[in-house]
Structure 1
Protein backbone atom coordinates (compact mmCIF):
# COMPACT_ATOMS: atom_id res chain seq x y z
CA UNK A 1 0.00 0.00 0.00
CA UNK A 2 1.46 3.35 -1.01
CA UNK A 3 1.37 5.92 1.74
CA UNK A 4 1.02 9.66 1.59
CA UNK A 5 4.38 11.23 2.43
CA UNK A 6 3.02 14.54 3.77
CA UNK A 7 0.19 15.52 6.10
CA UNK A 8 -3.14 15.03 4.37
CA UNK A 9 -4.58 18.30 2.96
CA UNK A 10 -8.13 19.54 3.54
CA UNK A 11 -9.03 18.47 -0.01
CA UNK A 12 -8.55 14.80 0.98
CA UNK A 13 -11.34 15.12 3.55
CA UNK A 14 -13.49 17.47 1.47
CA UNK A 15 -13.64 14.83 -1.27
CA UNK A 16 -14.76 12.15 1.16
CA UNK A 17 -17.50 14.28 2.72
CA UNK A 18 -18.67 15.47 -0.71
CA UNK A 19 -19.57 11.87 -1.58
CA UNK A 20 -20.84 10.73 1.83
CA UNK A 21 -21.68 12.76 4.95
CA UNK A 22 -20.44 9.87 7.14
CA UNK A 23 -17.59 8.27 5.16
CA UNK A 24 -16.12 6.49 8.20
CA UNK A 25 -19.54 5.31 9.46
CA UNK A 26 -19.26 7.13 12.80
CA UNK A 27 -23.04 7.04 13.20
CA UNK A 28 -23.60 3.37 12.37
CA UNK A 29 -20.43 1.35 12.99
CA UNK A 30 -20.33 -1.10 15.92
CA UNK A 31 -16.55 -0.58 15.97
CA UNK A 32 -16.96 3.19 16.39
CA UNK A 33 -19.68 2.82 19.02
CA UNK A 34 -17.56 0.44 21.12
CA UNK A 35 -14.49 2.63 20.72
CA UNK A 36 -16.42 5.72 21.86
CA UNK A 37 -17.58 3.89 24.98
CA UNK A 38 -14.00 2.76 25.71
CA UNK A 39 -12.69 6.29 25.12
CA UNK A 40 -15.17 7.88 27.51
CA UNK A 41 -14.59 5.13 30.09
CA UNK A 42 -10.84 5.77 29.92
CA UNK A 43 -11.11 9.47 30.79
CA UNK A 44 -9.44 9.90 34.18
CA UNK A 45 -12.02 12.41 35.43
CA UNK A 46 -15.79 12.40 35.41
CA UNK A 47 -15.88 16.04 34.27
CA UNK A 48 -13.58 18.61 32.66
CA UNK A 49 -13.80 22.38 32.88
CA UNK A 50 -12.34 22.98 29.40
CA UNK A 51 -11.84 20.28 26.77
CA UNK A 52 -10.41 20.32 23.25
CA UNK A 53 -11.34 17.72 20.64
CA UNK A 54 -9.08 17.70 17.58
CA UNK A 55 -10.73 16.16 14.51
CA UNK A 56 -14.39 16.12 15.56
CA UNK A 57 -15.74 15.14 12.12
CA UNK A 58 -19.55 15.07 12.18
CA UNK A 59 -19.74 15.38 15.96
CA UNK A 60 -20.80 11.92 17.13
CA UNK A 61 -18.14 11.69 19.84
CA UNK A 62 -18.43 15.46 20.42
CA UNK A 63 -22.02 15.04 21.54
CA UNK A 64 -21.02 12.45 24.15
CA UNK A 65 -17.91 14.35 25.25
CA UNK A 66 -20.00 17.48 25.78
CA UNK A 67 -21.80 15.70 28.64
CA UNK A 68 -18.45 15.48 30.47
CA UNK A 69 -17.26 19.06 29.74
CA UNK A 70 -18.21 22.50 31.04
CA UNK A 71 -16.75 23.98 27.85
CA UNK A 72 -15.70 22.10 24.72
CA UNK A 73 -13.85 23.33 21.64
CA UNK A 74 -14.07 20.93 18.70
CA UNK A 75 -11.90 21.33 15.60
CA UNK A 76 -12.02 19.88 12.12
CA UNK A 77 -10.58 20.88 8.76
CA UNK A 78 -13.58 19.78 6.71
CA UNK A 79 -16.26 22.47 6.49
CA UNK A 80 -19.01 20.03 5.50
CA UNK A 81 -18.27 17.80 8.50
CA UNK A 82 -18.34 20.82 10.83
CA UNK A 83 -21.74 21.86 9.48
CA UNK A 84 -23.10 18.41 10.36
CA UNK A 85 -21.40 18.52 13.80
CA UNK A 86 -22.86 21.97 14.55
CA UNK A 87 -26.32 20.72 13.61
CA UNK A 88 -25.94 17.63 15.80
CA UNK A 89 -24.87 19.75 18.79
CA UNK A 90 -27.06 22.79 18.12
CA UNK A 91 -28.64 22.64 21.61
CA UNK A 92 -25.27 22.46 23.38
CA UNK A 93 -24.36 26.10 23.98
CA UNK A 94 -21.09 25.21 25.75
CA UNK A 95 -19.68 23.56 22.59
CA UNK A 96 -17.77 25.74 20.11
CA UNK A 97 -16.69 24.52 16.67
CA UNK A 98 -13.73 25.86 14.72
CA UNK A 99 -12.50 25.14 11.20
CA UNK A 100 -8.77 24.54 11.66
CA UNK A 101 -5.94 22.57 10.09
CA UNK A 102 -3.65 21.50 12.91
CA UNK A 103 -0.93 21.97 13.87
CA UNK A 104 -0.66 25.22 11.89
CA UNK A 105 -3.99 26.53 13.17
CA UNK A 106 -4.83 26.21 16.85
CA UNK A 107 -7.52 27.60 19.17
CA UNK A 108 -6.89 30.11 21.92
CA UNK A 109 -7.21 29.05 25.54
CA UNK A 110 -5.99 26.35 27.88
CA UNK A 111 -7.51 22.93 28.43
CA UNK A 112 -7.61 20.21 31.06
CA UNK A 113 -8.48 17.58 28.42
CA UNK A 114 -7.22 17.22 24.86
CA UNK A 115 -8.67 14.38 22.81
CA UNK A 116 -6.85 13.18 19.69
CA UNK A 117 -9.06 10.41 18.35
CA UNK A 118 -8.28 8.91 14.93
CA UNK A 119 -6.48 12.05 13.78
CA UNK A 120 -2.72 12.05 14.48
CA UNK A 121 -1.89 9.51 11.77
CA UNK A 122 -3.15 11.95 9.13
CA UNK A 123 -0.09 14.08 9.93
CA UNK A 124 3.49 13.50 8.83
CA UNK A 125 6.21 13.02 11.45
CA UNK A 126 7.26 16.69 11.51
CA UNK A 127 3.67 17.85 12.02
CA UNK A 128 3.15 15.32 14.81
CA UNK A 129 6.13 16.86 16.61
CA UNK A 130 4.62 20.32 16.06
CA UNK A 131 1.31 19.02 17.40
CA UNK A 132 3.04 17.90 20.59
CA UNK A 133 4.45 21.42 21.00
CA UNK A 134 0.99 22.91 20.49
CA UNK A 135 -0.41 20.61 23.17
CA UNK A 136 2.41 21.57 25.54
CA UNK A 137 1.50 25.24 25.15
CA UNK A 138 -2.17 24.89 26.10
CA UNK A 139 -2.48 21.89 28.43
CA UNK A 140 -3.10 22.85 32.03
CA UNK A 141 -0.89 21.33 34.76
CA UNK A 142 -2.34 17.92 35.64
CA UNK A 143 -4.40 17.92 32.41
CA UNK A 144 -5.12 14.79 30.40
CA UNK A 145 -4.37 13.89 26.78
CA UNK A 146 -6.15 10.91 25.25
CA UNK A 147 -5.07 9.36 21.95
CA UNK A 148 -7.10 6.70 20.14
CA UNK A 149 -5.99 5.23 16.82
CA UNK A 150 -6.79 2.31 14.58
CA UNK A 151 -3.75 0.03 14.32
CA UNK A 152 -4.27 -1.57 10.92
CA UNK A 153 -2.38 -0.67 7.77
CA UNK A 154 -3.24 2.64 6.16
CA UNK A 155 -2.22 4.83 3.26
CA UNK A 156 -1.88 7.75 5.70
CA UNK A 157 1.56 9.23 6.44
CA UNK A 158 1.84 7.17 9.66
CA UNK A 159 0.24 4.08 11.18
CA UNK A 160 -1.68 4.41 14.43
CA UNK A 161 1.30 3.02 16.34
CA UNK A 162 3.82 5.28 14.58
CA UNK A 163 1.67 8.37 15.12
CA UNK A 164 1.11 7.66 18.80
CA UNK A 165 4.74 6.83 19.50
CA UNK A 166 5.94 9.93 17.63
CA UNK A 167 3.54 12.12 19.59
CA UNK A 168 4.61 10.56 22.90
CA UNK A 169 8.29 11.06 22.03
CA UNK A 170 7.62 14.73 21.29
CA UNK A 171 5.74 15.12 24.56
CA UNK A 172 7.80 13.02 26.97
CA UNK A 173 9.16 16.09 28.76
CA UNK A 174 5.68 17.15 29.92
CA UNK A 175 3.43 14.08 29.67
CA UNK A 176 3.57 10.74 31.44
CA UNK A 177 1.64 7.63 30.50
CA UNK A 178 -1.17 6.83 32.90
CA UNK A 179 -2.91 4.05 31.01
CA UNK A 180 -2.63 2.12 27.74
CA UNK A 181 -5.09 -0.30 26.18
CA UNK A 182 -4.82 -2.24 22.97
CA UNK A 183 -7.71 -4.05 21.32
CA UNK A 184 -7.45 -6.14 18.16
CA UNK A 185 -8.21 -3.00 16.07
CA UNK A 186 -7.11 0.10 17.98
CA UNK A 187 -4.92 1.44 20.76
CA UNK A 188 -5.96 3.90 23.44
CA UNK A 189 -3.36 5.91 25.36
CA UNK A 190 -4.09 8.16 28.33
CA UNK A 191 -1.34 10.66 29.14
CA UNK A 192 -1.22 13.10 32.05
CA UNK A 193 0.61 16.42 32.24
CA UNK A 194 3.41 16.33 34.76
CA UNK A 195 2.91 18.81 37.58
CA UNK A 196 6.53 19.82 37.14
CA UNK A 197 7.66 19.85 33.54
CA UNK A 198 11.15 18.60 32.74
Structure 2
Protein backbone atom coordinates (compact mmCIF):
# COMPACT_ATOMS: atom_id res chain seq x y z
CA UNK A 1 0.00 0.00 0.00
CA UNK A 2 2.87 2.36 0.70
CA UNK A 3 4.06 1.97 -2.88
CA UNK A 4 0.66 3.01 -4.22
CA UNK A 5 0.73 6.27 -2.32
CA UNK A 6 4.26 7.03 -3.53
CA UNK A 7 3.21 6.38 -7.12
CA UNK A 8 0.18 8.59 -6.76
CA UNK A 9 -2.29 5.83 -7.49
CA UNK A 10 -5.65 6.30 -5.88
CA UNK A 11 -5.33 9.95 -4.91
CA UNK A 12 -6.05 13.16 -6.73
CA UNK A 13 -3.25 15.60 -7.40
CA UNK A 14 -3.68 19.31 -7.24
CA UNK A 15 -2.76 21.08 -10.46
CA UNK A 16 0.49 22.94 -10.13
CA UNK A 17 0.48 26.70 -9.93
CA UNK A 18 2.43 28.49 -12.66
CA UNK A 19 5.77 29.79 -11.42
CA UNK A 20 5.04 33.45 -12.23
CA UNK A 21 1.69 33.44 -10.38
CA UNK A 22 1.99 34.39 -6.72
CA UNK A 23 0.36 32.26 -4.07
CA UNK A 24 -3.04 33.29 -2.76
CA UNK A 25 -4.92 35.84 -4.87
CA UNK A 26 -4.19 35.39 -8.58
CA UNK A 27 -4.72 39.14 -9.20
CA UNK A 28 -2.29 40.15 -6.40
CA UNK A 29 0.76 40.66 -8.65
CA UNK A 30 -1.02 42.67 -11.34
CA UNK A 31 -0.96 46.42 -11.54
CA UNK A 32 -4.36 48.08 -11.22
CA UNK A 33 -5.83 49.33 -14.49
CA UNK A 34 -3.75 47.05 -16.68
CA UNK A 35 -5.97 44.85 -18.81
CA UNK A 36 -5.24 41.25 -19.54
CA UNK A 37 -3.59 40.70 -22.90
CA UNK A 38 -6.14 39.82 -25.59
CA UNK A 39 -6.67 36.14 -26.24
CA UNK A 40 -5.35 34.94 -29.58
CA UNK A 41 -8.02 34.07 -32.15
CA UNK A 42 -8.98 30.38 -32.22
CA UNK A 43 -7.05 28.21 -34.64
CA UNK A 44 -8.66 26.37 -37.55
CA UNK A 45 -8.46 23.13 -35.61
CA UNK A 46 -10.32 24.61 -32.65
CA UNK A 47 -12.99 26.04 -34.96
CA UNK A 48 -13.49 22.66 -36.64
CA UNK A 49 -13.68 20.86 -33.31
CA UNK A 50 -16.27 23.37 -32.15
CA UNK A 51 -18.43 22.93 -35.25
CA UNK A 52 -18.29 19.14 -35.66
CA UNK A 53 -20.34 17.19 -33.10
CA UNK A 54 -18.52 14.79 -30.81
CA UNK A 55 -20.29 11.71 -32.27
CA UNK A 56 -19.11 12.53 -35.78
CA UNK A 57 -15.55 12.98 -34.59
CA UNK A 58 -15.63 9.59 -32.85
CA UNK A 59 -17.17 7.93 -35.93
CA UNK A 60 -14.54 9.51 -38.18
CA UNK A 61 -11.70 8.35 -35.96
CA UNK A 62 -13.05 4.79 -35.97
CA UNK A 63 -13.66 4.93 -39.73
CA UNK A 64 -10.09 5.78 -40.65
CA UNK A 65 -8.79 3.09 -38.32
CA UNK A 66 -11.08 0.50 -39.92
CA UNK A 67 -10.02 1.64 -43.40
CA UNK A 68 -6.37 1.15 -42.47
CA UNK A 69 -7.11 -2.31 -41.03
CA UNK A 70 -9.07 -3.29 -44.17
CA UNK A 71 -6.22 -2.07 -46.40
CA UNK A 72 -3.73 -4.09 -44.36
CA UNK A 73 -5.89 -7.23 -44.56
CA UNK A 74 -6.29 -6.74 -48.33
CA UNK A 75 -2.54 -6.25 -48.72
CA UNK A 76 -1.75 -9.35 -46.70
CA UNK A 77 -4.31 -11.30 -48.74
CA UNK A 78 -2.77 -10.08 -51.98
CA UNK A 79 0.71 -11.08 -50.83
CA UNK A 80 -0.51 -14.49 -49.69
CA UNK A 81 -2.28 -15.04 -53.01
CA UNK A 82 0.83 -13.96 -54.90
CA UNK A 83 2.92 -16.37 -52.83
CA UNK A 84 0.28 -19.12 -52.74
CA UNK A 85 2.71 -21.75 -54.00
CA UNK A 86 4.54 -21.32 -50.72
CA UNK A 87 1.78 -20.29 -48.30
CA UNK A 88 -0.71 -23.08 -49.06
CA UNK A 89 1.73 -25.92 -48.26
CA UNK A 90 2.83 -24.06 -45.12
CA UNK A 91 -0.81 -23.65 -44.03
CA UNK A 92 -1.49 -27.35 -44.65
CA UNK A 93 1.63 -28.29 -42.68
CA UNK A 94 0.55 -26.12 -39.76
CA UNK A 95 -2.93 -27.71 -39.76
CA UNK A 96 -1.48 -31.23 -39.89
CA UNK A 97 0.95 -30.44 -37.08
CA UNK A 98 -1.92 -29.10 -34.96
CA UNK A 99 -3.94 -32.25 -35.65
CA UNK A 100 -1.11 -34.69 -34.98
CA UNK A 101 0.43 -33.03 -31.92
CA UNK A 102 -2.13 -34.41 -29.41
CA UNK A 103 -1.41 -37.94 -30.62
CA UNK A 104 2.35 -37.39 -30.37
CA UNK A 105 1.93 -35.91 -26.88
CA UNK A 106 -0.10 -38.99 -25.89
CA UNK A 107 2.79 -41.26 -26.91
CA UNK A 108 5.32 -38.97 -25.19
CA UNK A 109 3.38 -39.28 -21.91
CA UNK A 110 3.62 -43.07 -22.30
CA UNK A 111 7.45 -42.79 -22.32
CA UNK A 112 7.89 -43.31 -26.10
CA UNK A 113 10.91 -41.59 -27.65
CA UNK A 114 9.99 -38.36 -29.47
CA UNK A 115 11.05 -39.69 -32.89
CA UNK A 116 9.00 -42.85 -32.47
CA UNK A 117 5.95 -40.94 -31.23
CA UNK A 118 6.18 -38.56 -34.21
CA UNK A 119 6.50 -41.49 -36.64
CA UNK A 120 3.56 -43.34 -35.06
CA UNK A 121 1.46 -40.18 -35.18
CA UNK A 122 2.20 -39.69 -38.86
CA UNK A 123 1.43 -43.32 -39.70
CA UNK A 124 -1.86 -43.18 -37.78
CA UNK A 125 -2.79 -39.92 -39.54
CA UNK A 126 -2.01 -41.30 -43.01
CA UNK A 127 -3.98 -44.49 -42.32
CA UNK A 128 -7.01 -42.53 -41.08
CA UNK A 129 -7.01 -40.11 -44.02
CA UNK A 130 -6.49 -42.80 -46.66
CA UNK A 131 -9.16 -45.00 -45.06
CA UNK A 132 -11.65 -42.14 -45.09
CA UNK A 133 -10.91 -41.31 -48.73
CA UNK A 134 -11.23 -44.98 -49.70
CA UNK A 135 -14.58 -45.30 -47.91
CA UNK A 136 -15.99 -42.19 -49.59
CA UNK A 137 -14.68 -43.22 -53.04
CA UNK A 138 -16.23 -46.70 -52.82
CA UNK A 139 -19.60 -45.24 -51.77
CA UNK A 140 -19.58 -42.84 -54.72
CA UNK A 141 -18.53 -45.60 -57.15
CA UNK A 142 -21.31 -47.92 -55.93
CA UNK A 143 -23.96 -45.25 -56.41
CA UNK A 144 -22.63 -43.96 -59.75
CA UNK A 145 -24.00 -46.91 -61.76
CA UNK A 146 -27.63 -46.24 -60.89
CA UNK A 147 -27.22 -42.47 -60.96
CA UNK A 148 -27.07 -42.24 -64.77
CA UNK A 149 -30.44 -43.94 -65.22
CA UNK A 150 -31.97 -41.87 -62.41
CA UNK A 151 -30.81 -38.63 -64.06
CA UNK A 152 -32.25 -39.71 -67.41
CA UNK A 153 -35.57 -40.69 -65.79
CA UNK A 154 -35.73 -37.40 -63.90
CA UNK A 155 -35.03 -35.44 -67.10
CA UNK A 156 -37.77 -37.28 -68.98
CA UNK A 157 -40.21 -36.48 -66.14
CA UNK A 158 -39.22 -32.81 -66.36
CA UNK A 159 -39.74 -32.69 -70.12
CA UNK A 160 -43.12 -34.44 -69.80
CA UNK A 161 -44.19 -31.89 -67.19
CA UNK A 162 -43.06 -28.99 -69.40
CA UNK A 163 -44.89 -30.38 -72.44
CA UNK A 164 -48.07 -31.68 -70.76
CA UNK A 165 -48.20 -29.67 -67.53
CA UNK A 166 -49.58 -26.22 -66.83
CA UNK A 167 -47.02 -24.50 -69.06
CA UNK A 168 -47.83 -26.48 -72.26
CA UNK A 169 -44.47 -25.72 -73.86
CA UNK A 170 -44.40 -27.01 -77.45
CA UNK A 171 -42.01 -29.88 -78.11
CA UNK A 172 -40.54 -28.11 -81.12
CA UNK A 173 -39.48 -25.22 -78.90
CA UNK A 174 -37.73 -27.44 -76.38
CA UNK A 175 -36.33 -29.97 -78.88
CA UNK A 176 -37.13 -32.54 -76.23
CA UNK A 177 -36.24 -35.56 -78.34
CA UNK A 178 -32.68 -34.35 -78.99
CA UNK A 179 -32.15 -33.33 -75.37
CA UNK A 180 -33.52 -36.64 -74.09
CA UNK A 181 -31.20 -38.59 -76.39
CA UNK A 182 -28.21 -36.53 -75.25
CA UNK A 183 -29.05 -37.07 -71.58
CA UNK A 184 -29.51 -40.81 -72.07
CA UNK A 185 -26.22 -41.14 -74.00
CA UNK A 186 -24.14 -39.07 -71.56
CA UNK A 187 -23.84 -41.71 -68.76
CA UNK A 188 -22.99 -44.39 -71.32
CA UNK A 189 -20.13 -42.27 -72.71
CA UNK A 190 -18.59 -41.86 -69.28
TM more than 0.5: no
- Whichever structure has more strand as a proportion of its residues is 1
TM-score normalised by the chain length of structure 1: 0.17
Q: Which structure would you say has the larger RCO, counting Cα contacts within 8 Å and 6 or more residues apart?
A: 1
Q: Which has the larger radius of gyration?
A: 2
- Whichever structure has more helix as a proportion of its residues is 2
TM-score normalised by the chain length of structure 2: 0.17
